[in-house]
Structure 1
């Protein structure tokens, strides 16, 4: 089984699709995506790290966190959780924001559909990220989304093995 991150861009439909297999059971992978003490260990690409300010993982809840850089820089994000189907999937809208969670309209919104499925050897995670327009998708790609998210998912492998 490959644990390689597969990312495809569907520009015409304003979507990025990410598929990743993990050699851990769904319960463990789900917890890594929904528990801030675990999320903070893997979500940011190194040498950056994620720091959760608050997480209320439920439909209508919010995850407010920053990606903290090695030189003290901080990039804040808010994840508005829309729906939760425990150990199956969730939908959310992600935006860059300030430390209080006020959205930064100079960056695009990303609409996430994240699904978890058991396999013979672990768990598949399928993420579909849709954008309001092609320019928004392109901006996120140019900001290094593919490399950063691939690195973060590699970090998750290490966390799941520990």
Structure 2
């Protein structure tokens, strides 16, 4: 079955629209996005890995994690959960930070709204809108391989969902 990966940047609106279908029920996909032991298995494009330092999946809670390169280099990300609709939607504010969760001074911020939908055939669809404060930030993401990394991460998620 096709996964229907859509990645549509809108530079004028400073938004990226992303959607992807998965061959698993929405409950299983939701778990893969909301349990740190599972999300660490797919979120980083290979050969990178992800390590969670803090996980508080509540509105106002924080997910502090690192994308870890093969040389051990860590890129820290801080995601503040701004809204959660159990089983169907998550909103976050994200930024780069240090290992203690302190934002990078003058660093970019993004806002992500993600919806989880059941579709025919006991499958699911995840649809996200990422909004950036600055045009330079969306350009940085686009030039930095964000589309390719997102596609690779979703392929990792396919593998995880098939094995769980």
- Tell me the SS of whatever aligns to 1:41: coil
Scaled by the length of structure 2, what TM-score is found? 0.95
2:149 paired with 1:148: yes
- Tell me the SS of whatever aligns to 1:27: helix
Scaled by the length of structure 1, what TM-score is found? 0.97
For 1:67-86, what aligned pairs fall within 5 Å after superposition?
67-86=67-86
How much does 1:108 deviate?
1.2
Aligned-residue Cα RMSD (Å) equals: 1.0
- Tell me the SS of whatever aligns to 2:158: helix
How much does 1:106 deviate?
4.6
Counterpart Cα distance in 1 of 2:32 and 2:58: 15
Q: After the TM superposition, list the runs of 4 or more consecutive aligned residues in structure 1 that deviate by more than 3 angstroms.
A: none
Deviations 1:37-82 (A, max 9, x none): 0000000000000111111111111000001111111111010000
For 1:8-157, what aligned pairs fall within 5 Å after superposition?
8-121=8-121, 122-157=123-158
Counterpart Cα distance in 2 of 1:156 and 1:106: 32
Deviates more, 1:136-145 or 1:45-54: 136-145
How much does 1:25 deviate?
0.6
Instruction: Point out where structure 1 has 5 or more consecutive residues left out of the alignment.
Output: none
Instruction: Point out where structure 2 has 5 or more consecutive residues left out of the alignment.
Output: none
